[in-house]
Amino acid sequence: MADPTTPISPLPAFQAKRRALDVSGFLLLVLSFQTLGIIYSDIGTSPLYVLNGIWPASGPLPSKEDVIGGVSAIIWSLTLLPLFKYVVISLYFGTREGEGGSFALFQGLYPAAEKDFEADRTLTGDSFGRLKLHRQTHEGSRSFKDRIRFPLLLWSLFGTALTMADGVLTPAVSITSAVGGISVAKPDVTDKIVPISIAFIIVLFLVQQFGTARLAFTFSPVAALWFLLLAGTGIYNITTFPGIFRAFDPSRAVMLFVRTKNYDYLAGVLLAVTGSEAMFANLGQFNATSIRISFCSFTYPALVLAYLGQGARLIRDGEAVFDNIFYRTIPGPVDGALYWIMFIFATLATLVASQAMITATFSLTQQVINLKSLPPIRMVHTSDIVQGQVYVPAVNWLLMIAAIILVGAFKNLSNLTNAYGFAVATVMLSTTGLLAIQMVYVKRWPKVVPILFFAVWGFFDALFWGASLKKIPHGAWVPLMIGSVLVMIMTLWTWGKRLEDKFDGANRMNLRRFIGLDVISEKNSRGQSPISSTDDVNEIEVEASRSFYFITDDKKASSTDTERRKDLARIPVCAIFYKIAQGQGVPHTFVGFTRQWPALPRVVIFLSVCVLPLARIPPDERYLVNKVRSLEGFYGVTYYLGFREEFDVQVGDVMEKIVQLERDINPNAEVVIEEIRALASSATHVAPHYHVLSKVVDAGGFVSPVVNYLRKLLIEEVYRRFATMFPETANWVTSSDQIIHVGVNAVI
């Protein structure tokens, strides 16, 4: 027998799919302008500290040829990595939703199946069994891509974790570097750099709640003026030594390392490309075209001119500018008007620079939560147009606390930049590997292309990574520690949620397998059998002839088999059961509820939630309803929610949809309809609560006790505590006095 449900007309909103933002003309120019304040301010503030990162003020003054070689290394690093690798290549590899970053590359390789909410509303029928057919896999036939899935997941999570660590390091490094300019003009305030930096950091994180769009319009003019100042001062400084243009010859960079044999210079050069990953990670906040336009036409030329100018002044003035190359090479006298203009904009630009990685961290958090690799913490969408623009309060405050601790603990800017460079280099290497794999399995390009790509960019990334690896004892251990802690949390949550969802799917049941129905063989006033597939059955006439019972095992119980059945009374209430994981049938929560309370509510609603890529959904399109005809009073409902809307199930609206469906099925069911409407005020929300327990696995021989001990420790002592602190329904259900939490022992 086919599944006896009857859907109402499909909702227009149901067809909506999230796609990359597509704009053109004036809107594209506006979006490109916004990227200056959100994406490029990080890489744009690197001139504050790069040359002193290569040649610390405490070391010897570099020679003219060394300076030309160092500037050449900076220019070609900017060309090969941000320009070619990220702007030209990486932006083609966003997800179909327009997201970017390391985790987005993993999603591209292993895209999540689209949710079938039509199937999710299916509660009975033979079609329930068909779900299992496509799940059958043969271990021997797994492809190489399937076998490397888990290692790639770990690598992607590690890259994502380090990008999040960048969200801590960027404010600490950038703001401290900018505020340090005070000590050049006013040496007596040197001891106050740390508290001033902390004050700026607090202000920065306090304004995050206003959202990406508002901050972009505030920050972008600042960033634009900053880039113009960099370009202008760079052009002026170049005139003091035009020979600096020899830095465009890449052999100058090569000869620097051949001549000095100082591999550590690369760790300083790496600071010039910090923020490159923000271009890719922030793809969901904007789009690829806007990012390309702003970088190629504005950011890249301004940075190249700035580094050329600084190199020219360092060659000409030497020791006079060496202690703080950026501030000492500002044209005009120290403490002059232009100096303080540059200081003000440098400080503002570093605040904006921090925004790039903070916003990227919010985007990555959204991706990881949506893929169930982080606990479902609260996210606030800040735009009606771009679904990727989010604010994550918990992440914001954690980043602020960590940044303040770093500034207060390190104090030495050199150690902070060491920490910064390691995180950047590791993420860049991670991205290169994942891009090469995507070229093979997603783009289906000839294998020679990814091999050449990895050989070229993997070589440069590995050079930078090796240089930064040497800095672990000098500060680079910080992002390594932060990233390692985050990746352990994300890996544990990913593993636990998959086991929990697998348990949930395995325990979904056809409603008719455990809810039985006795029917008195009477005829109603139309001469029909009470159970009929005819649409116009008078339900109220046959209601009295129905008796429900709970089947206590998987075998079908007869009306006389009292040992395997428990009679169920119908009570005049409405109960809404939340379906967390996707799938046909009714959730284990309902089975547990019926076992504990042997009664059936008059109206039973199984609710699934679908967040659509639309800011708001019209009220009349929010609910899609299916009815189980063979069991009166059971309904499958999908609740469609806009990404900017708060979860708010209006039981009255759901009941009206049910009433509409009942009226379509049976125009004479007014008595039933009045009864259903009356129950709207007595709705009870039933949410699942899985009490996870570790099952015993056979790992073979003496290893089994160790494996089972560790498994139990991780699942029952760690994952269970996280799951209790961050329940999936925390951002869903209504006030706590209307909720019943049904506990289910889940052996996973």
Task: Give the domain CATH number at 188.
Answer: 1.20.1740.10
In a domain, 2, yes or no: no
* CB contact at 8 A, 127 and 2: yes
In a domain, 527, yes or no: yes
CA-to-CA distance for 421 and 269, rounded, in angstroms? 9
Q: How many domains does the chain have?
A: 2
Q: Do 467 and 590 lie in a common domain?
A: no
CA-to-CA distance for 438 and 426, rounded, in angstroms? 19
Q: Do 482 and 515 lie in a common domain?
A: no
In a domain, 11, yes or no: no
Q: Do 150 and 233 lie in a common domain?
A: yes
In a domain, 704, yes or no: yes
Q: Do 547 and 457 lie in a common domain?
A: no
In a domain, 496, yes or no: no
Q: Do 642 and 718 lie in a common domain?
A: yes
Query: What does residue 465 show for φ and ψ, rounded to 5 degrees?
Result: -65, -40
User: How do residues 344-387 score in pLDDT, each as one tens digit?
Assistant: 888 888 777 777 678 778 877 887 887 788 888 888 877 666 65
In a domain, 16, yes or no: no
Last residue of a domain, one of 452, 487, 522: 487
User: How do residues 128-177 score in pLDDT, each as one tens digit?
Assistant: 333 333 333 444 456 778 888 888 888 888 888 887 887 788 788 777 77
Paired tokens of 80: 């090969």
Q: What is residue 3's predicted lDDT score, i.e. its pLDDT?
A: 44
Q: Which long-range contacts (CB under 8 A, 24 or more apart) does 680-683 make?
A: 680/574, 680/651, 680/652, 680/655, 681/651, 682/572, 682/573, 682/574, 683/573, 683/574, 683/575, 683/576, 683/651, 683/738
Domain residue limits at 724: 507-747
- Name the most confidently modeled range: 239-243, 547-551, 553-557: 239-243
Which range (412-426, 473-487, 622-636) has the least confidence?
Answer: 412-426
Q: What is residue 153's predicted lDDT score, i.e. its pLDDT?
A: 86
Q: In which band, very low, low, confident or very high, does the pLDDT at 72 lie, cut at 50, 70 and 90? A: very high
CA-to-CA distance for 364 and 275, rounded, in angstroms? 15
3-class secondary-structure state, position 681? helix
Q: Do 445 and 549 lie in a common domain?
A: no
Q: Do 240 and 376 lie in a common domain?
A: yes
In a domain, 130, yes or no: no
Q: Do 451 and 553 lie in a common domain?
A: no
Q: What is residue 212's predicted lDDT score, i.e. its pLDDT?
A: 62
* CB contact at 8 A, 548 and 568: yes
Which amino acid appears at position 475 of this protein? G
Q: What is residue 69's predicted lDDT score, i.e. its pLDDT?
A: 96
Task: Please compute the mean of the pLDDT values over residues 74-86 and round it to a whole number.
Answer: 94
Q: Do 517 and 480 lie in a common domain?
A: no
* CB contact at 8 A, 529 and 506: no
Q: Do 319 and 430 lie in a common domain?
A: yes
Q: Do 451 and 520 lie in a common domain?
A: no
Q: Do 567 and 474 lie in a common domain?
A: no
